[in-house]
Amino acid sequence: MSNLTINAERLWDTLTETAAIGATPDGGIARLTLSDEDRRVRDWLRAQVEALGCTLTVDAVGNMFALRPGRNPDLKPIALGSHLDTQPTGGKFDGVLGVLAALEVLRTLDGAGFVTEAPLLLVNWTNEEGARFAPAMLGSGVYAGIYAGDWAEARQDSAGTSFGAALDAIGYRGAAPAGSVPFGAMFELHIEQGPILEAEGAAIGVVQGVQGMRWFEVTLEGQSAHTGSTPMPMRRNALLGAARLVEAVDAAAQAHAPDAVATVGHLTVTPNSNNVIPGHVFLTVDLRHPQDAVLDALEAALRDALDRVTVGLSLTGKLQVIARTAPVAFDPDCIASVRRAAEKGGHPTRDMVSGAGHDAAHVAGLVPTTMVFVPSAAGLSHNPAESTAPSECAAGAQVLLDAVLDYDSRHAPAA
């Protein structure tokens, strides 16, 4: 492990610079995937990596891969990065820090004239957030073979625009087939998106894995009718069914506390008029837990609740699974490199399992992978008030650099 030091001020400047792309009046960022704002930040990243002499490849779903040559071209690259898209009410650090810290690693190596044994590969994954096109982590999911490319292309946003059409509209449909850009390991730096590191005074989260996640879309059909002239016993109120389902989802997670979480995060009511009984409701359900057996129980509770609601209120219901991610355990060698890097920097650490989904969870099924967490102030994320201090960002970037160099030196063939 070398004594190279990242430029903390330069890293913070890039965070500030990119935060202006899609900036919102409340200090956050609205940079939905494949939007014009996403195109602008992608163009910015392209210019930065090409200025470093990297070769940029874009694949068929818009994933960006910037290759920095290593001493041994026969070795598969070590990937580092995250995503640049945000939630509609996103902050400045979620995902973005991981890409910009990876860029800072490349800049630091370039400034020192340091050449790694294996090539390095900066990655920006498409549609990690899933805010515009569900499911989340769609780009890495197609890369990993979890989702078919044509299925991903057909996914539509709320306006009816397909993923494929949006990809073409911003000019980031690449020529490389999805999954064709090889690498041999991956490190992803990310904010924690929770309160644990801050509460315990730890600077670095040594991430052991990612909890499992299942996403569902539910449609409830009743009958739209006049609110004033339809007696209560004769109503088929889809919104009432949705309300009962929301409560059942929450109760299912409470029954498996403290590790289970379940959320109805999106709900559309039709016709959404003051004096019309809602006849159609669309909603999403997000279930998460570190164990598959508990996820099975949560899913069973959801399906049972849907049956009760539809029968009891004379509704029809449809449930569709749109994402099913198993719990992931990260690679011990990658984790050990992160731990050594944190110890080298004198940073207090905390072992943890990620509560949020990340592209690293998909990649871990293909190559050795792990993540590095830094604190999130008050645990906030997906929020304009999301905040991580400059010193914390710098610490995470330094650990990322040292972990990659440690892994590189330990996995290069002996001379």
In a domain, 94, yes or no: yes
DSSP one-letter string for 207-257: EEEE-EEEEEEEEEE---EETTTS-GGG---HHHHHHHHHHHHHHHHHTTT
The CATH number of whichever domain residue 94 belongs to comes to 3.40.630.10
In a domain, 3, yes or no: no
Shared domain for 345 and 311, answered yes or no, is no
Indicate the residue among 272, 307, 325 that finishes a domain.
325
Per-residue pLDDT reduced to its tens digit, 350-394: 999 998 889 999 999 999 999 999 999 999 999 999 999 999 999
Shared domain for 315 and 354, answered yes or no, is no
In a domain, 69, yes or no: yes
The DSSP H or E segment spanning 339 is helix 332-344
Indicate the residue among 299, 325, 351 that finishes a domain.
325
Sequence-ordered list of residues with C-beta below 8 angstroms from that of 96, at least 6 positions apart, any chain? 15, 18, 19, 29, 82, 83, 84, 86
Residue 73 falls in which region: left (phi positive, over 0), alpha (psi -120 to 50) or beta:
alpha
Rounded to whole angstroms, the Cα distance separating 11 from 7 reads 6
Phi, psi of 15 (to 5 degrees): -60, -40
- Contact of 93 with 393, CB cutoff 8 Å: yes
In a domain, 114, yes or no: yes
Indicate the residue among 325, 340, 374 that finishes a domain.
325
Q: What is the pTM of this model?
A: 0.85
Domain containing residue 262: 212-325
Shared domain for 186 and 251, answered yes or no, is no
Q: Which pair of tokens denotes residue 317?
A: 């219901």
Shared domain for 204 and 216, answered yes or no, is no
Phi, psi of 59 (to 5 degrees): -95, -175
Distance between start and end Cα atoms, the chain? 17
Q: Which pair of tokens denotes residue 77?
A: 């690259």
Shared domain for 82 and 124, answered yes or no, is yes
In a domain, 362, yes or no: yes
Shared domain for 24 and 172, answered yes or no, is yes
Shared domain for 199 and 252, answered yes or no, is no
Phi, psi of 363 (to 5 degrees): -65, -30
In a domain, 1, yes or no: no
Angle of the 8-19 helix axis to the 390-411 helix axis, nearest 10: 110
The DSSP H or E segment spanning 372 is strand 369-374
Which of 196, 190, 237 lies closest to 94 in space, CA to CA?
190
Which of 299, 357, 291, 341 lies closest to 125 in space, CA to CA?
357
Shared domain for 345 and 197, answered yes or no, is yes
- Contact of 409 with 117, CB cutoff 8 Å: yes
In a domain, 179, yes or no: yes
Per-residue pLDDT reduced to its tens digit, 385-412: 999 999 999 999 999 999 999 999 999 8
Which of 247, 196, 188, 139 lies closest to 399 in space, CA to CA?
188
Q: Which pair of tokens denotes residue 191?
A: 């904010």
What's the confidence (pLDDT) of residue 228?
97
Shared domain for 59 and 94, answered yes or no, is yes
In a domain, 2, yes or no: no
What's the confidence (pLDDT) of residue 59?
98
Q: Which residues of the chain register pLDDT less than 70? A: 1, 414-415
The total of structural domains in the chain comes to: 2
What's the confidence (pLDDT) of residue 415?
56
